Structure 1
Amino acid sequence: MDTLQNMRTFMCVAQTGSFTAAGQQMHLAVPTISRNIAKLEEHLKTRLINRNTRQLVLTEAGGRYLTWCRRIISTVDQAEVEARGAMSLPEGRLRLHAMVGVGAHFVVPAIAELRKLHPAITFELTLSNRLPDLLGEGIDIAIIASDRLPDSGYISRLLGKTQSILCASPSYLASNGAPQVPADLIRFDCLQLSVPTTDALEWCFFSDGQKATIQPRPAFLEVDSTEAMIRALESGMGVGVLPAFAASQSLKDGTLVHVLPDHQLQELNLYAIYAGRDYIDAKIKAFIRTLRRLTP
């Protein structure tokens, strides 16, 4: 039984004073109006309306029930208006998760831009290099950098691509020499940036249409933060792979050098991952649009 629909029918009958007028107002046949009222009374085990061929009068119980129906239906209608508004008006709290480097370089600027457009949105951003449980942790969107999508039941949107580069400090290269081809890296201290969505055991280089895959010797240092990797490389600990956007300032400052610049590392895709395809909240759609404009 559709209790809410039957309550609406009861309210309309009480307001119009007849089944016929209620049917006309609700665009329902009179027998349907009668059945809805009968089902409601059967469900409640209470007579709500005394009626004959000429008139109808609410019972005492019907009068009290009408008061509650008005309150309940008003609340339901308000809830529906608010829920529909979430589909069209970007407002409310947006919970975001991003990998550390991606969050600092792309997500934070997107938040700043979106905040100017839609000040009714508030943000909660968590930065960590792991794949979150969106539903379990109540996260609206996760932003990841990966060479492939992780297996999940979530929806993904490709935002853009980012290049990775091999880096080392000038002091490390002065002491150890510079590799000329990827195979030379087996002789160097290769630091590992641990990212859960990529295979850190292999580095794939591309040059003149040729692919070279190497497995660096076990690293004495593995970190899950691009900032920590930058500091380690600048300290002369070895060579390591960094996202180009994360290494750009150190390259400009000269504290890091691009190693094997003629060999391109595999690109990483930037993805926005969220829980559902249908009826996406307006603030989620607005954030993804903004982030796509800011990613390469």
Structure 2
Amino acid sequence: MDRIQAMEVFVRVVEANSFSRAADLLHISRTSVTIIVKNLEAHLRVPLLQRTTRMVKLTPEGEEYYEHALRILAEVSDMETMMGGAGNGPRGKLRVSMPAIIGKWLVTRQLHKFHTTYPDIALTLSYCDRWVDLIGEGVDCAVLAGELESSSFLVGRRLADMQRITVATPDYLRRYGQPENIEDLKNHQTLQYVSSRTARPIDLSFLVGAQCIEVPAVGKLSFDDVDAYVECGLTGLGILQPPRFMLEEHLHLGSFVEILPQWKPKSLPVSAVYPQNRHLPSKVKVFLEWITKLFEQSDLFALEDRSRKMLSMTTAVPGLPPAGESKRG
């Protein structure tokens, strides 16, 4: 029995939560996956997995073996990289996914620096706004915008906060008037941005002191592409809350006007996520270090000053419930 191969197959079954999906990812038959795992269990003389028709669950012995297998496979990968490159640095294929606006506005124009520093890494970048299944799709690392869900198989690293801004065009404000407070928004049209995770429109949000007030977006136009969202906003069809860095030139030219500036929208956290592993492959490690520094040096993104945020004055807004308690009719 090839014990390294058996570890790889076992780890893929656990992460994919399926023998069939693991077989597809490994480009071998489901029968081969089943036989390899059974032979591994026979060799170790302990059951590693509990199998049902819907899922695969680790036994206590399986959990312990999984942790050790992750570390061993990562060390083998690093050793092969080091020996293959004669100590010249990380190498191999690296698959990374991120939202298109982050890729186009920040990463693409800096990729030449990464390639110059790590010429032996074959980097494949996927620019998409959906939340990818890292394990199922074989993605090494992803940059995500939004709150992360807890996962036993993924690790998240906070990179930045994406600040948003509430805007409308001068033409729209001439036709509908300038909202003076958050309650006035119920008499206005808004453009809806659809979440790639929930497939539902994202509410407008406003930070009022320590509270986040959410206001349902009311309108007949919805977008799941932020560039189209902004382009439509420029035609004067409604109020929107896009990332601020996309609008600096439009604000300077007067194409957009900021409204309700005293109540900023809640920013979106930007994080890098990768499969849980005690010993990261060097190619993933250097990419994480590179993109972390890229965000730190960027004027487009910044981590919020939480101490300043905690000291902000609390202001009550009559008639509006806190976030998560808004009534929809």
TM interval, shorter chain, is: 0.5 to 0.7
Offset from partner CA, 1:93-148 (integer Å, 9 cap, x none):
221111121222233245333123222223211112111111221211111110x2
Number of the residue aligned with 2:208: 207
Query: Quick one: which amino acid aligns to residue 202 of structure 1?
Result: D
SS state of the match for residue 190, structure 1?
coil
- Within 2, Cα distance between the matches of 1:227 and 1:80? 40
Aligned pairs for 1:1-296 within 5 A? 81-84=79-82, 89-146=89-146, 148-152=147-151, 153-197=153-197, 200-209=201-210, 211-217=212-218, 219-295=219-295, 296=302
8 Å contact kept, 2:77–2:281: no
Aligned positions, number = 221
- Within 2, Cα distance between the matches of 1:83 and 1:167? 50
How far is the alpha carbon of 1:291 from its aligned partner? 1.5
TM-score normalised by length of structure 2: 0.60
8 Å contact kept, 2:193–2:224: yes
8 Å contact kept, 2:141–2:274: yes
- Within 2, Cα distance between the matches of 1:144 and 1:170? 33
SS state of the match for residue 166, structure 2?
strand
8 Å contact kept, 1:101–1:225: no
CA RMSD of aligned residues (A): 2.9
- Within 1, Cα distance between the matches of 2:277 and 2:215? 39
Q: Hey, which of these two has a bigger chunk of strand by percent?
A: 1
Query: Quick one: which amino acid aligns to residue 82 of structure 1?
Result: E
Which structure 1 residue ranges, 5 or more long, are not aligned?
5-77
Query: Quick one: which amino acid aligns to residue 148 of structure 2?
Result: L
- Within 2, Cα distance between the matches of 1:92 and 1:253? 46
How far is the alpha carbon of 1:175 from its aligned partner? 1.6
Query: Quick one: which amino acid aligns to residue 149 of structure 1?
Result: L
- Within 1, Cα distance between the matches of 2:168 and 2:230? 9
8 Å contact kept, 1:194–1:222: yes
8 Å contact kept, 2:203–2:217: yes
Offset from partner CA, 1:147-183 (integer Å, 9 cap, x none):
x212433111111112111122221112211211122
Query: Quick one: which amino acid aligns to residue 157 of structure 1?
Result: R
Query: Quick one: which amino acid aligns to residue 101 of structure 1?
Result: I
Offset from partner CA, 1:62-95 (integer Å, 9 cap, x none):
xxxxxxxxxxxxxxxx988424559982222221
Query: Quick one: which amino acid aligns to residue 134 of structure 2?
Result: L
Which structure 2 residue ranges, 5 or more long, are not aligned?
5-75, 296-301, 303-329
TM-score normalised by length of structure 1: 0.66
- Within 2, Cα distance between the matches of 1:196 and 1:170? 30
